[in-house]
Structure 1
Amino acid sequence: MAVIVELTIDSESFGLGRVTAVSNGVHLELERVVRDDRLVDDLAAVARIEDRVLYKVNWGESTSSLTRVLTDSEATILEARGNDPWLFRLRFNDHAALTEFHNRCQDETIEFHVERIYTLAEGEPGVYNFDITDEQQEALVTAVSEGYFEVPRRTTLNEVADRLGISPQAASERVRRGADTVLRKVLLSQSAADLS
């Protein structure tokens, strides 16, 4: 099943990012990407509309490692925008192709941060149904945003309970039950079955 991944990559981690890295306040979007085995040779403005500029990119002699990784893992770039960092929305044929992408990025020392992973069957991001209660969701959101799951922890369960106005025991139950339900749904779902 097709998998969509949203991830961020620092500009210094890939050729086009290094070439287009500019000062703050400038936002770049890739409108169309045609792969060739060359890096950027020339970048020319072809149209200006208000505060937007359309550029034509002429490629140089060598391919960037990110381009090779995307091609080898048969990823489709659905969206690429930013400056530093860049946000990519990529579609992979299945979880195996996503795993290939991850492994190739490690081999090429391309670091990225995954923002979101979902399948086409799950629909667009932002609409999740994890079958948890409102209280469990509130407890989980508070715990995550306050750094309860980080290493080292930035907050304690007692502090999460104080923020929610409940007892530490109630906070513990909500966080544990909510986390268990979410993790089971994500890690043990059919869409994750092809990871094994």
Structure 2
Amino acid sequence: MSSGVHIELERVVPTGGEVMPFFWAQGTDFEAFEHAVRHDRLVDDLTAVARVADRVLYKVNWGETTSSLTRILTDSEATILEAHGNDPWMFRLRFNDHAALTDFHNLCQEEDIEFHVERIYTLAEGEPGVYNFDITDGQQEALVTAVSEGYFEVPRQTTLNEVADQLGISPQAASERVRRGADTVLRKVLLSQSAADLS
């Protein structure tokens, strides 16, 4: 596909057997994009439904040799909550239970589909983007400053002394806030409750 076009799947409630029938494309060279998509072996037909500014809504009819991913999404009964990109793609998926998530993982491995999991969360933990890490205001301020100034980059772009100077606190206090805040955040993200804990 054209690298100058960004794709975002349209959110629809599935009523039939179609998987991902609509998507928005944003860019400039739609002619080249449509030509590439229509000649893709996975696509039977592509229709431009509507155009709004620099975005076009397309309806796609996938061929019988549709990608393994759409079949896997159907077989594991995954609900697509969000999807956008071109290369790479980002999906936010909802599964009925941990077993369905395991099915998705195993089916992707069988088809050699590589993916990276950003985060697994339960409904009780809330939607992504609404994070409650239970860190103090001071720890959050120190972490935000450290991250934005490049303290965690390789090589480091700043020192704890410089972070402390920006915050108007001692280097020891800056070190404690950054380390305690980072420990709490990492534990919340990496060791958070998964669906398996509910069974």
Trace 1:17-96 onto structure 2 (pairs within 5 A): 21-24=1-4, 26-32=6-12, 34-35=18-19, 39-49=42-52, 51-95=54-98
1:110 aligns with 2:114: yes
Kept in 1, the 8 Å contact 2:121–2:193? The answer is no
Q: Structure 2 CA distance, aligned partners of 1:162 and 1:96?
A: 50
Q: Scaled by the length of structure 1, what TM-score is found?
A: 0.65
Aligned-pair CA distance for 1:173:
0.3
Larger radius of gyration: 2
Aligned-pair CA distance for 1:161:
3.0
Cα distance, 1:29–1:63 mapped onto 2, change above 3 Å: closer
Residue ranges of structure 2 left out of the alignment (5+ in a row): 21-40
Cα distance, 1:178–1:99 mapped onto 2, change above 3 Å: farther
- Which of 132, 137, 140 is matched with 1:137 structurally? 140
Aligned-pair CA distance for 1:72:
4.3
- One-letter amino acid matched to 1:110: E
Q: Bigger relative contact order, structure 1 or 2, given CA contacts below 8 A and separation 6+?
A: 1
Name 1:170's counterpart in structure 2.
Answer: 173
Name 1:5's counterpart in structure 2.
Answer: none
Residue ranges of structure 1 left out of the alignment (5+ in a row): 1-20
Q: Scaled by the length of structure 2, what TM-score is found?
A: 0.64
Aligned-pair CA distance for 1:191:
4.2
Q: Secondary structure at the match of 1:118?
A: coil
Q: Secondary structure at the match of 1:174?
A: helix
Q: Secondary structure at the match of 1:125?
A: coil
Trace 1:4-15 onto structure 2 (pairs within 5 A): none
Kept in 2, the 8 Å contact 1:136–1:177? The answer is yes
Kept in 2, the 8 Å contact 1:29–1:82? The answer is no
How many residue pairs get aligned? The number is 173
Aligned-pair CA distance for 1:103:
5.7
Cα distance, 1:125–1:22 mapped onto 2, change above 3 Å: same
Aligned-pair CA distance for 1:133:
0.7
Structure having the larger proportion of residues in strand: 1
- One-letter amino acid matched to 1:66: L
Aligned-pair CA distance for 1:39:
2.4
Kept in 2, the 8 Å contact 1:66–1:110? The answer is no
Q: Secondary structure at the match of 1:79?
A: strand
Q: Structure 2 CA distance, aligned partners of 1:159 and 1:69?
A: 50
Residues 158-185 of structure 1, C-alpha deviations (whole Å, 9 max, x = no match):
4433443433221210011112223344
1:182 aligns with 2:182: no
Q: Percent identity?
A: 78
Cα distance, 1:193–1:83 mapped onto 2, change above 3 Å: closer
Segment of structure 1 superposing worse, 74-83 or 21-30: 21-30
Q: Structure 2 CA distance, aligned partners of 1:157 and 1:97?
A: 45
Q: Secondary structure at the match of 1:138?
A: helix
Aligned-pair CA distance for 1:137:
0.7
